[in-house]
Amino acid sequence: MVQITLPDGSKRDFPGPVTVAEVAASIGAGLAKAALGGKVNGKLVDTSYPITADSPLSIVTAKDADGLEMIRHSTAHLLAYAVKELFPEAQVTIGPVIEHGFYYDFSYKRPFTPEDLAAIEKKMGELAAKDEPVQRRVLPRDEAVAYFKSLGEHYKAEIIASIPSNEEVSLYREGKFEDLCRGPHVPSTGKLKHFKLMKVAGAYWRGDHRNEMLQRVYGTAWASKEELQQYLTMLEEAEKRDHRRLGRELDLFHLDEHSPGTVFWHPKGWAIWQEVEQYMRRVYRENGYQEVKGPQILDKALWEKTGHWDKYRENMFTTESEKRDYALKPMNCPGHILIYKQGIKSYRELPLRYGEFGACHRNEPTGGLHGIMRVRGFTQDDGHIFCTEDMIQEEVKAFTTLLQKVYKDFGFTEIIYKLSTRPEKRIGTEESWDRAEAALAEGLKASGCDFEYLPGEGAFYGPKIEYTLKDALGRPWQCGTIQVDPNLPERLDAEFVGEDGARHRPVMLHRAIVGSLERFIGILIEQYAGALPTWLAPVQVAVLNITDAQGDYCQEIAQKLKKSLPNQELRVVTDLRNEKITYKIREHSMQKLPYILVAGDKEKAAGAVAVRARGNKDLGVMSLEAFVQLIAADIAHKSVEPAPQGQ
């Protein structure tokens, strides 16, 4: 007798071993048809999985996250099946699930073309329509190696050969195609209906540049036609908002092969940078941070003490001078500890908060570079808090509240909070980990945040919180973090004098709000489709004349506007070209300016301007004083509305 406990607490008895599919069928025909797999004792399994002992079971369908994962995993196999049908000489390698879809790597004698991709997708549809069962079998490792060698699948044979010899391996067959896989998979190919192949890219076998370059085919798969279409629409919108395209069109920055992975900021792009940096500088100043500045190049000996020379050297740019080895800093923390160590610190000075707009360099692989989102040279809004263990909770609470305000000011109101806890390999006592994790959790709770745990995802020296914002398209961007670190203060011998007169180690909290300024500005450009809020816009106002008779008046208006606000200068340009006013208005509208002021003879005579706001909104004629009040309020309140989709 086998007793199955369902999620609602009800129980079902069966005379002997029973499969997930049979349990689903006993509940109802609808569930039997919808079932993709099951969760037995928390383990995801196929519908053919036999349950031999009393167990809890939940049936997995396409409505579940696990079901969607199974659909994507199985669609990757369907892709490989189709490729083998069309290109029998191609060798299959690996095909995992990734965010929003899957990919599969192939070895083939020539690059796949867009026409090939279309043919493969069509073949996938034909194979799915056959609704062939997906069947699992198990072989001893050596027998599996021999089997795949006999098929000419040498990459698969190499993968299997790396598995311990005493282990069995599972294979999944659908029609003529059989693949190595741990599973689980959907019960038949007919469950795979809503997919699309996206692109082909290069990828080295096992990620090693010394190995053969394979062809990586990317695809996406969804549980419904509507979800697939929503995703494809989102990608179309993302393409319109691509910061690289907008960077060129709006003349903000460019990237150059003379310095790969670094950014050449143009005047308008640098204006955005300065606005972000100066805003964050005010945040530092108003929240108890002391701004510092460390050197770019630091001696090898320091990086050896921190452990970076051994564990991170391949990602560091190194140099040599007078027989001494140096590295460009990939992060700012060691420099902040060296600043902290100058002079004796007392417990009365803690918490001590340092902030730096620190330029860092990391030797990212060329294939990983992406516009200004992922670069080799970047600047962080980096901060480090030196405190005692019992101060962590309050610092986390204050930091989280501050981060929420900053994100709101930039127009991001949806934040995901994740707490990464102790990994298997770690230093420190269990008690210290307990206290650190509890302090981070309580700090989040005190800030009113719902959060999820990421077990085992913390650094080897301490737990961390990750703050992920969502943009106008619902895409997640992990920018903020706060991380507990007792390790670096120990390695670099940082101390403070306690109330007892003895020397103690401080805890170091690594924290960032926007993270890399380059990446954050890229996110902002895409969030607003280049139409940045007035306070961030590189040009806030353009003043246009209708004829030469208003040229001097427009220049006078522009000069008054620049000096019209206290403690800041409006970013104003004039356009006095001898062109039709409609042409000039259209040209500046294409540059996504917040305001365009037009002056003709009537406006000049009245000492006024005709005001047009972004989005082709005619605000009518108003005095300069009235417009100054309008734009001052706009800047002060910081528009948080992203550009509508489709613009």
HSE (side-chain half, CA atoms, 13 Å) at 284: 24
Question: Quick check: is 384 catalytic?
Answer: yes
Do the beta carbons of residue 94 and residue 211 sit within 8 Å?
no
State the angle between helix axes of 551-562 and 624-637 in degrees (0 to 180), rounded to the nearest 10.
40
Please tell me which residue in 353, 397, 510, 519 is annotated as part of the active site.
Answer: 510
Please tell me which residue in 39, 191, 336, 464 is annotated as part of the active site.
Answer: 464
Please tell me which residue in 193, 362, 571, 612 is annotated as part of the active site.
Answer: 362
* Rg of the chain taking only CA atoms, in angstroms: 30
What gap in Å lies between CA 289 and CA 353, rounded to an integer?
5
Do the beta carbons of residue 191 and residue 71 sit within 8 Å?
yes
Question: Quick check: is 3 catalytic?
Answer: no
Q: Which residues contact 173 (CB under 8 A, 6 or more apart)?
A: 134, 135, 137, 179
Question: Quick check: is 323 catalytic?
Answer: no
Sequence-ordered strand ranges (E) for 251-335? 253-254, 264-265, 289-291, 297-299, 318-321, 324-328
Which contiguous run of DSSP H or E holds residue 169?
strand 168-174
Please tell me which residue in 46, 382, 471, 485 is annotated as part of the active site.
Answer: 382
Please tell me which residue in 105, 191, 329, 380 is annotated as part of the active site.
Answer: 380
Question: Quick check: is 380 catalytic?
Answer: yes
Please tell me which residue in 353, 384, 584, 612 is annotated as part of the active site.
Answer: 384
Q: Return the closest-CA partner of residue 7 out of 41, 33, 30.
A: 41
What gap in Å lies between CA 252 and CA 259, rounded to an integer?
17
Question: Quick check: is 336 catalytic?
Answer: no
Do the beta carbons of residue 471 and residue 519 sit within 8 Å?
no
Please tell me which residue in 72, 84, 243, 333 is annotated as part of the active site.
Answer: 333
Cis ω for the linkage preceding 184 (within 30 of 0): yes
Count of other CB atoms within 10 angstroms of residue 324: 10
Torsion sign (Cα): 246, 247, 251, 255? negative
Question: Quick check: is 504 catalytic?
Answer: no
The one-letter code for the residue type at 94 is I
Question: Quick check: is 510 catalytic?
Answer: yes
Sequence-ordered strand ranges (E) for 486-570? 496-497, 503-504, 507-516, 541-545
Catalytic residues: 333, 362, 380, 382, 384, 464, 510
